[in-house]
């Protein structure tokens, strides 16, 4: 059975970097590429970082029930297409979702067995420095993101794991450890244990 890993964080916390490290560690993980109506930033590529679509196309897909979750953030839609979960289950692989707090909340209620991880920067100042270092947003947008981050962090107790991204190498190792630990939880190993027990039968 597929394990669904929900990974979310305030903008600028380093979530995307950590998810990329996780996918390099285990290329068999299926990564759900979110759909969005926002414009690409920097070197982002369609179909790899996001599936960039028009607002009209997003709303048409939404009307057809194609999204497991969706949210409107800072004036743009974001959504998780159900096709990625269908593929993970068909192939018996685990699924990684890189989504915002609003979307995570929807998915946690829809997939209660999902594993949720919340990533955050060690302080407001550090988060602001990271946002400014991206050189992608105007000052008023950065301030809005910082206010939003405070609200998102207040909801940290909704997540099973909290990961403070102070050192990217250590944080990436911790994220990998979470995946390893979840894969050997007792309730996920029942079928394997039963198969081993059968070898003792005479």
Q: Domain extents for the chain?
A: 4-198
**Number of neighbouring beta carbons within 10 Å of residue 173:** 12
Region 160-167: mean pLDDT is: 96
Instruction: State what percent of residues in the chain have pLDDT above 90.
Output: 69
The pTM score is 0.87
**Contact present, 11 and 145 (Cβ < 8 Å):** yes
Report pLDDT for 67. 95
Report pLDDT for 156. 92
Distance CA 84, CA 22 (A): 17
**Contact present, 127 and 17 (Cβ < 8 Å):** no
State how beta strands 115-120 and 35-36 pair: unpaired
Q: Which two tokens stand for residue 172?
A: 């990436």
- pLDDT, tens digit, for every residue of 83-99? 999 999 999 999 999 98
Distance CA 85, CA 92 (A): 10
3-state secondary structure of 63: helix
Residue 42's pLDDT band, with cuts at 50, 70 and 90, is: confident
Distance CA 36, CA 78 (A): 4
Of 5-14, 36-45, 170-179, which range is least confident?
A: 36-45
Q: What is the CATH number of domain 4-198?
A: 3.40.50.300
Q: Rounded to 5 degrees, what are φ and ψ at 191?
A: -65, -40
Distance CA 101, CA 10 (A): 8
């Amino acid at each position: 059975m597929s394990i669904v890993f929900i990974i979310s964080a305030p903008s600028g916390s380093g979530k995307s970097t950590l998810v990329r490290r996780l996918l390099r560690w285990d290329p068999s993980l299926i990564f759900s590429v979110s759909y969005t109506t926002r414009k690409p930033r920097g070197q982002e590529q369609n179909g790899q970082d996001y599936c960039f679509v028009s607002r009209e196309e997003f709303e048409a897909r939404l009307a057809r029930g194609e999204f497991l979750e969706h949210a409107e953030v800072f004036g743009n839609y974001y959504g998780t297409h159900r096709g990625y979960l269908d593929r993970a289950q068909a192939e018996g692989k685990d699924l990684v979702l890189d989504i915002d707090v609003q979307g995570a909340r929807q998915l946690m209620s829809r997939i209660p067995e999902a594993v949720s991880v919340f990533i955050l920067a060690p302080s407001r100042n550090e988060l602001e420095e990271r946002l400014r270092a991206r050189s992608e947003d105007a000052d008023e947008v950065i301030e809005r993101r910082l206010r939003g981050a405070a609200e998102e962090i207040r909801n940290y107790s909704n997540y099973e794991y909290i990961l403070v991204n102070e050192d990217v190498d250590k944080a990436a190792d911790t994220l990998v450890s979470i995946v390893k630990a979840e894969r050997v939880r007792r309730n996920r190993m029942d079928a394997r244990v039963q198969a081993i027990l059968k070898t003792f039968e005479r």
